[in-house]
Amino acid sequence: MADRDTIAVTVQILGKDYRVSCLSHEREALLASAGYLNAKMREIKNNGKVIGNESVAVMAGLNIAHELLQLQSRSQAAETVKARLQGLQQRLDEALERGDSQLQI
């Protein structure tokens, strides 16, 4: 199966090559991730407030983790709103089926 084949991919981050193994079907996602990390690290490094590649990597990791947590929080909020709307829709449908003229929400 080609999807289970492990391949070695070379990615470049801050001008340094890293060889990473991944499943063949995950190659493009790995390249995109490396490109995103590289861009974040370059942004931090070019800002000039953080010195040293290790510190740049930690700051980039913190920024990316923060972005992820914000997206997860938004997703959870959206799911809560979706569930509430579905509940309201169900109550409306039930009221319409019964012919209720007064619905308490």
Q: What is the pLDDT of residues 85-104, one digit of tens each?
A: 999 999 888 888 887 666 56
How far apart are alpha carbons 20 and 36 in whole angstroms?
Answer: 16
Confidence label for 47 from pLDDT (cuts 50, 70 and 90): very high
Task: Give the pTM.
Answer: 0.70
Per-residue pLDDT for 61 more than 70?
A: yes
Return the domain boundaries, the chain: 2-94
How far apart are alpha carbons 5 and 85 in whole angstroms?
Answer: 44
Per-residue pLDDT for 20 more than 80?
A: yes
Residue 24 parent element (H or E): none
Average of per-residue pLDDT across 67-87: 92
12, burial (CB in 10 Å: exposed 0-12, middle 13-18, buried 19+): exposed
DSSP classification of residue 23: E
Q: Residue 72: helix, strand or coil by DSSP? A: helix
Q: What is the pLDDT of residue 10?
A: 97
Per-residue pLDDT for 82 more than 70?
A: yes
Q: What is the CATH number of domain 2-94?
A: 3.30.160.880
